[in-house]
């Protein structure tokens, strides 16, 4: 059976197909149809044609559709989690968590759709403006081209689709070709709603077919979650468009000497540096520990990482599964070898069997090592000590990335200083930078992107303000 893509809300076959294979054992998961260039053109034309109808949808229609999607995702949790594990290699415990987050994302979008009302602004603050009031509402900028990665094949698609539906913006999703099945199941569920079918297409196209869509003026908004290199290319290709990018990161966590439970902190850091084989842009990569506790904490972290269960992602007890493919494993191993060859100390790990890369901890990584200034996107952490909190802040900020950072401290003054000083989109106190609530603003500074996800924030990003001035009112 060849799985169809979704063209304007309808399951459709194109010409030719490609295979989706398990990152764990290489077994065939599915065969998926490829759209033709003409079908991609039809999707863009349909999104443009349905634009006015989508924008005019009553709030109750949009909210009801979002509620339905949330409910159906919850009902099909086990099925969809198994699909995520099969195509992505994500351990079952994390796959179920991802489905739960997508349920929450659509539920939040339904709530936000009901209160997306706008603002009133009195203008009679000057004599010449007596009797005037402004109504400020936000309207969709237009149809959206959403480009999503393999690491969260359901919830990162949800973070594009849910806000778009909430504001009445048609959307075309281009999922990662290694993991398209979760997005196609989501399209199937959206098709069950009363939304205009042409509001959503999910096209399993490659980069060559995507390029004309990136520059197509009928798709004025491009929302990308991916690498910083792809983000730069996209911005260069479409400088006239509204481009939202959530890109890479080498997330840092600071462990201060006032933190009372180093073992618990080490457990959280070790787990969330490796939890999806490290394939998370806010997974821990850089660990900064105060000199006074560095030796003790290092031992705790090694113990925590060596205690992680790695293996078959369908095993409900497995915490660390495979990386996405053999090429990724080879790259990660090469970066570790580069660091140790330049003087870094290997405290644990450093091995791989196929796509299973062992949880790895490096200390004293030199500045000229590849991993020192790049996102490893694998289960590899680096450990560095510092003497003062100011030094720790400077080390965090030395990165070209700035997505999120964590600080293990009990001091409110340190927490507020971190919030002020760290050049990142989010600071997590008392936990790892990997924490994300799907309703909070989420995005980065510097090479980590621009714009914000989180349902309400994304709704703002997909829309623009339009002012209506009323005159002659008895205010």
**pLDDT for the residue 229:** 86
pLDDT interval class at 119 (50, 70, 90)? very high
Q: What is the pTM of this model?
A: 0.97
Query: CA 7: distance to chain centroid?
Result: 24
Which residue is catalytic, options 87, 98, 274, 281? 281
Average pLDDT over residues 279-303: 98
Does 228 fall in a domain? yes
Please tell me the total number of residues recorded for the chain in this structure.
Answer: 475
Query: Which of the residues 87, 98, 112, 246 is marked catalytic?
Result: 246
In terms of domains, do 388 and 429 share one?
A: yes
Is the same domain home to 233 and 352?
A: no
pLDDT for res 433? 98
Q: At residue 130, does pLDDT exceed 90?
A: yes
Same domain membership, residue 212 and residue 188:
yes
What's the token pair of residue 11?
A: 């399951």
Residue 33 backbone phi and psi in degrees, to 5: -70, 150
What is the model's pLDDT at position 345? 98
Q: Which residues pair with 467 in a beta bridge?
A: 136
Q: Residue 26: inside a domain, yes or no?
A: yes
Cα separation of 35 and 37, whole Å?
7
pLDDT single digits (tens) 164-219: 999 999 999 999 999 999 999 999 999 999 999 999 999 999 999 999 999 999 99
Domain that holds residue 85: 2-247+449-468
The chain-wide mean pLDDT, for the chain, equals 97
Is 188 one of the annotated active-site residues of the chain? no
Are residues 185 and 231 part of one domain? yes
Residue 474 lies in a domain: no
Answer yes or no: is pLDDT of 337 > 90.
Answer: yes
Find the mean pLDDT for residues 101-124: 97
pLDDT surpassing 90 at residue 228? no
* CATH code of 307's domain: 3.40.309.10
Crossing angle of helices 207-215 and 228-237, in 10° steps, is: 40
Domain identity same for 65 and 111: yes
CA 38 – CA 42 distance, rounded (Å):
6
Same domain as 266, residue 222: no
Report pLDDT for 279.
98
Residue 394 domain-assigned?
A: yes
Instruction: Decide if 473 is inside a domain.
Output: no
453 φ, ψ (degrees, to nearest 5): -95, -165
Question: How many domains are there within the chain?
Answer: 2
CA angle at residue 340 from 339 to 342, to 5 degrees?
Answer: 65
pLDDT of residue 441 exceeding 90, the answer is yes
Of residues 426, 429, 337, 320, the one with CA closest to residue 379:
320
CA distances from 400 to 228, 277, 397, 447 (A): 10, 23, 8, 6
338 has pLDDT over 90:
yes
Same domain, 11 and 134: yes
Please report which helix (H) or strand (E) contains residue 33, including its range: strand 28-33
DSSP string, 51-64: HHHHHT--HHHHHH
Asked if residue 96 and residue 175 are part of one domain, the reply reads yes
Tell me, yes or no, whether 149 lies in a domain.
yes
Active site residue 281: yes
* pLDDT of 122 above 90: yes
Mean pLDDT, rounded, for 288-315: 98
Instruction: Report the pLDDT averaged over residues 354-378.
Output: 97
**Cβ proximity of 234 and 222 under 8 Å:** yes
Residues 165 and 307 in one domain: no
CB 424 within 8 A of CB 396: yes
**Whether 145 and 261 share a structural domain:** no
Q: Band of the pLDDT at 3, cuts 50, 70, 90? A: very high
């Amino acid at each position: 059976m060849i799985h169809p893509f979704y063209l304007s809300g309808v399951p459709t076959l194109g010409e030719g197909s490609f295979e989706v294979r398990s990152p764990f054992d290489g077994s065939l998961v599915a065969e998926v149809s490829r759209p033709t260039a003409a079908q991609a053109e039809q999707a863009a034309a349909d999104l443009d044609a349905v634009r006015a109808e989508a924008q005019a949808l009553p709030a109750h229609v949009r909210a009801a559709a979002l509620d339905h999607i949330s409910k159906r995702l919850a009902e099909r949790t086990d099925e969809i989690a198994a699909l995520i594990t099969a195509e992505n290699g994500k351990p079952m415990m994390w796959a179920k968590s991802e489905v739960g987050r997508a349920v929450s994302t659509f539920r939040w979008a339904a709530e936000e759709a009901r209160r997306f009302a706008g603002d009133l602004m009195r203008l009679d603050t000057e004599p010449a403006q007596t009797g005037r009031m402004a109504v400020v509402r936000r309207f969709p900028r237009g149809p959206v081209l959403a480009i999503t990665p393999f690491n969260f094949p359901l919830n990162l698609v949800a973070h594009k689709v849910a806000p778009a539906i909430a504001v009445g913006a048609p959307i075309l999703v281009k999922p990662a070709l290694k993991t398209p099945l979760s997005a196609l199941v989501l399209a199937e569920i959206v098709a069950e709603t009363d939304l205009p079918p042409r509001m959503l297409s999910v096209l399993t196209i490659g980069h060559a077919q995507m390029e004309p869509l990136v520059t197509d003026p009928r798709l004025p908004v491009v929302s990308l979650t991916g690498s910083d290199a792809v983000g730069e290319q996209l911005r260069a290709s479409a400088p006239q468009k509204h481009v939202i990018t959530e890109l890479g990161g080498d997330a840092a966590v600071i462990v201060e000497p006032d933190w009372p439970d180093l073992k618990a902190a080490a457990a959280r850091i070790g787990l969330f540096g490796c939890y999806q084989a490290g394939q998370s842009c806010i997974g821990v990569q850089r660990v900064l520990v105060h000199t006074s506790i560095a030796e003790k904490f290092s031992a705790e972290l090694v113990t925590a990482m060596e205690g992680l269960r790695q293996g078959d992602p369908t095993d409900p007890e497995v915490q660390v599964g495979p990386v996405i493919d053999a090429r990724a494993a080879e790259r990660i191993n090469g970066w570790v070898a580069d660091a140790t060859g330049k003087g870094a100390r290997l405290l644990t790990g450093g091995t791989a069997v196929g796509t299973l890369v062992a949880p790895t901890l490096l200390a004293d990584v030199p500045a000229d090592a590849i991993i020192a200034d790049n996102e490893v996107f694998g289960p590899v952490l680096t450990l560095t000590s510092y003497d003062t909190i100011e030094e720790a802040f400077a080390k965090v900020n030395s990165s070209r990335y700035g997505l999120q950072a964590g600080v293990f401290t009990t001091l409110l003054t340190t927490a507020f200083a971190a919030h002020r000083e760290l050049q990142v989109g989010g600071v997590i106190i008392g936990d790892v930078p990997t924490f994300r609530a799907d309703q909070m603003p989420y995005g980065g500074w510097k090479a980590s992107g621009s714009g914000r996800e989180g349902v309400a924030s994304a709704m703002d990003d997909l829309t623009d303000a339009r002012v209506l001035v009323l005159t002659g009112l008895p205010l």
